[in-house]
Amino acid sequence: MEAHEKPAPVSIRINPVKKISPPAGATSVPWTDLGFYLPERPVFTLDPLFHAGTYYVQEASSMFLEAFFRQVMEEEPLRVLDLCAAPGGKSTLLSSLLSDDSLLISNEVIRPRSGVLADNLTKWGRIHSFVTNNDPRDFQRLPGFFDIVVVDAPCSGSGLFRKDAAAITEWSEENVALCSQRQQRILADVWPTLREGGVLIYSTCSYSSEENEQVLDWLSSSFACTSIPFAGSYEGIVEVRTEQDNYGYRFWPDRVEGEGFFIAAFQKTEDQEDYAFRTTSGGKNKNRRTETAAFTPWVDDLASYAWIEKNGDYFLINPEHRPEFEVISQNLYLRKAGIRLGKLAGPDLIPDHELALSTVLSSDVPRLEVSREDALRFLKREDFAYETSQKGWHLVSYQGHGLGWVKVLPNRLNNYLPKDWRILMDIREN
């Protein structure tokens, strides 16, 4: 209770493919190579590097997923499902750990939240990430499909009492019971999509045993699986054993520098056939000269990728993921796939915002490097100073990291930042 009276720690996790140095005064989160505590909370909205996707603001305890995931990762490539993924903290973490030939499917059942999830993965910039907007039961259409499933389950939120005052007013014993029932339904719905020998990682931000230990015992009683103990140890993390001898790990804010959190993992031991692919196309692009000529100036090593056209938009994916793309798009609602390149206008590409923030963008694309003040003006869709005699599309960048597109015309500059990405805060007061 004394710990809950203290200010909540502020922590960020750095994007390893958009490298930045930790802020001055930052200290490391013990269980991750990428997480850092900040000495104070800045106004993240007014940091252009935040909008460029160089880091994610994430509660430190939940970053422990990295340590557990590294332990259960097998040889890549892997197919990984983050089932309850919005707003994207754990998905961006998983994306950082996976190679490009692995595939990350991040799902959110609530449609507006799936949009936030897609935006955060867009900022992260990796090509191996897809976003779906489906109920957990829909994944039963893909039996034995995934190697690892992460379920950060909706919960009563008691572990966030210090960080979120609204969680206190919304908490009740009745809500705990409802959450426990919902968590069991979610796990039962998604269990068939995990292959035999695959790993389920379950977590909550709740203190209640009904949502944690009791759910683990229900799972092991309902399905053939084996509890996985964490192989390492960190000071302050409490290992618990349930009545059925399952392992779980609790984070208490008086013992670690973080919020309340619970995590456990199971390996599936019941018979489960792997998903049998029946696709209509191979991984290579057809010989389409117009598209090849249009995309080549924008993408480094275009020949290494495949692209897909849908309703006039072009999406860049790894060729290895074309079968998965077909299967997922046929069975689920696919909101984001790989990197959206943009649309064609005659022989030319109109680049999408996703391309501006991606890690596949060619280093030869013209850039306008701007100051922090001008970066914020761009992010507010206001006029800003620039110097260039070259007309056409330019990437606005801050400290070498892309923020979005502008098009330089003879007498003006057009800002193509999507309107729903615009900063609404008054930057003059900060």
* Catalytic residue annotation: 205
Q: Is 132 strand, coil or helix?
A: strand
C-alpha–C-alpha distance, residues 330 and 178, integer Å: 33
CA 54, 70, 61, 220 torsion-angle sign = positive
Neighbours of 19 (CB within 10 A): 10
SS3 412: coil
In whole angstroms, what is the distance from residue 32 CA to residue 68 CA? 10
Q: CA–CA separation, 420 vs 230, rounded Å?
A: 41
Residues 321, 274: Cα–Cα separation, whole Å:
17
Q: Which residues sit opposite 345 in a β-bridge?
A: 348
DSSP state, 420? G
**DSSP label at residue 187:** H
| Amino acid letter, residue 291 | E
**Cα-only R_g, the chain:** 23
Q: Name the nearest CA neighbour of 58 among 109, 93, 26.
A: 93
Cβ atoms 338, 317 nearer than 8 A = yes
- CB count within 10 Å of CB 406 equals 22
Tell me the backbone φ, ψ of residue 415, rounded to 5 degrees.
-95, 120
Paired residues of 319 in beta bridges? none
133-148: burial string, b at 16+ Cβ within 10 Å, e else? bbebebbebbbbbbbb
d(CA 4, CA 258): 11
Nearest to 396 by CA among 366, 424, 352: 366
Return the closest-CA partner of residue 360 out of 314, 328, 416, 417: 314
Reply yes or no: is the peptide bond before residue 30 cis, omega within 30 of 0: no
